[in-house]
Amino acid sequence: MKKNTENLFKGLIFISPWIIGFAVFQLYPIYKSVYYSFCQYDVLNPPVFIGLQNYTNLFRDEIFLKSIIRTGIYTFMAIPLSMIVSLFFAILLNQKIFGRGIFRTIYFLPSLVPMVALAILWKWMFNGEHGILNYFLSLLGIQGPNWLGSTMWATPSIVLTGLWGVGGSIVIYLAALQDVPRSLYEAAEIDGAGWFSKARHITIPMISPVIYFNLILGIIGCLQVFAVPYIMTAGGPARSTYYYTMYLFDNAFSFLKMGYAGAMAVLLFIIILAITFIVTKMTAKRVYYAEK
């Protein structure tokens, strides 16, 4: 018993840097956000408790409600496209081709580019007058749109920018594809199954846990999208890319409405938790976990 206590104490000492960092940089800010969400607080004056007023005001706020709709539209556009593209390239990179390792590296490297640099780069590329995309379209005789200056094209432009960073998802899919037993494909080929049947009845079910994992991470990431649209469009044009976290940021640091921003942060957490729960329940019978 004494030895177990000593081992536990030693283990706590080893992980204490992480515990301290988690408590100081995550747990305490979360607690303060929840506390401030029930207060009127402008940073310059002490917080004043006002109960649920911040939460009730949110649902009377037209900008808040529209930011939820815009974020939802962005999420519904980005999630399917990013998952399909990343899975497609993962399947290609899983084939036995010459220089496969080099191609894997090339597709993964863009995901390492910092968000700020990524946004600035694509902002130049999407420039309506001097951007490289419109230049190539002009070579084909096509008049390119004003990508970031159009309410129709601004959100799709940000979605396309997000595809630049699917390298991480590709690697995860690739690891899952390599774990699918080759014997299943061989048995299916003997039965005369084509590529579509093998993909539908073998590949997709066998990698379904990874699909579920990437889906959850994708939803969380999309609902918290901030850096790329903030740098590329600053919420414009006509607030068509003014997403939830951008309004939260403005309330906290531009309008100094920390209590209101805290309520938005708490509500965002609840929304993410609810969506994760719903997705988990909906996919429970479709995710296959192999028995070990």
What backbone phi and psi angles, to 5 degrees, belong to 49? -70, 130
Determine the straight-line distance between the first and last CA of the chain, rounded to whole angstroms: 33
Residues 146-194: tens digit of each pLDDT:
999 999 999 999 999 999 889 999 999 999 999 898 888 889 888 888 8
Please name the residues in contact with 250: beta carbons below 8 A apart, sequence gap of 6 or more. none
Residue with the bigger pLDDT between 8 and 53: it is 53
In tens, the pLDDT along 100-128 reads 889 888 989 988 889 999 999 999 999 98
Contacts 24+ apart (CB under 8 A), 14-17: none
Amino acid at 82: S
Instruction: Identify which of 117, 65, 115 has the alpha carbon closest to the alpha carbon of residue 221.
Output: 115
Backbone angles phi, psi at 124, to 5 degrees: -65, -45
Looking at residue 118, what is its pLDDT?
Answer: 92
Residues paired with 279 in a beta bridge:
none
Question: Contact, 267 vs 58, CB < 8 A?
Answer: yes
pLDDT of residue 2: 67
Q: Are 171 and 86 in contact (CB under 8 A)?
A: no
Lookup: tokens for 284: 């429970």
108 is written with which tokens? 């993964």
